Amino acid sequence: MRILVILLVLICLIYILTKYNFNESITVVSQKDNNAYLIRRGKSKSEKYLSNSADTLAEINIQIEKLIEHLLKKIPEGSENRHYVKHLRKNYNHTVLSEAAIDQRYTTYTIDKKSMHVCLRTRDNNEQLYDINVLMYVILHELAHLCNYDIHGNAIQGHGDSFKKIFKLLVQESINIGVYKYIDYTSKPQEYCGMYISSSIV
């Protein structure tokens, strides 16, 4: 009898985990840029939910490409900043972007400078998409990680001086070309995926 009860409990757990697997991902083609993005299905599996997520990643991609093209034109060859921009161009394309699972411990993160998992939605029952401007600030932070290499091509991790220099450059140039609208998060902290953005790099 005891084994039967344990077996029934295990079957119920497997059923619940299968039915409510919020992390299941699917590839969705955005109507904005015709690129495919990896989107988590979440609690809502409607076409609108999926397409809104893909279109948000597409908008982020469009803005990143605009920024990279601007930097390639503006930053002179041979400069330290050009070194970072070259790594950004080398490491970034739209396939880097995917939606992070809602129950991830981290909000938005980059793995090995090769993949960027973006928290697009609030972590509550509403799962509302965040404002694109807030998302762009977070993305600029991640892009700074993506292109942080020393002159020998070795990846630099963490939030040291070179990271801060790159992040500041990306934010300032994004403001200059309208990719990001400045917000003073020090005086106006912004909730984002279970945490608060409470400082600004510029």
34-51 pLDDT, tens per residue? 999 999 876 657 889 999
CB 160 within 8 A of CB 154: no
Amino acid letter at 137?
A: Y
For the chain, the structural domain boundaries read 2-197
**What tokens does 59 get?**
């908008």
Question: Tell me, what's the pLDDT at 13?
Answer: 46
pTM higher than 0.75: yes
What percentage of the chain reaches a pLDDT higher than 70? Answer: 85
CA–CA separation, 75 vs 83, rounded Å? Answer: 9
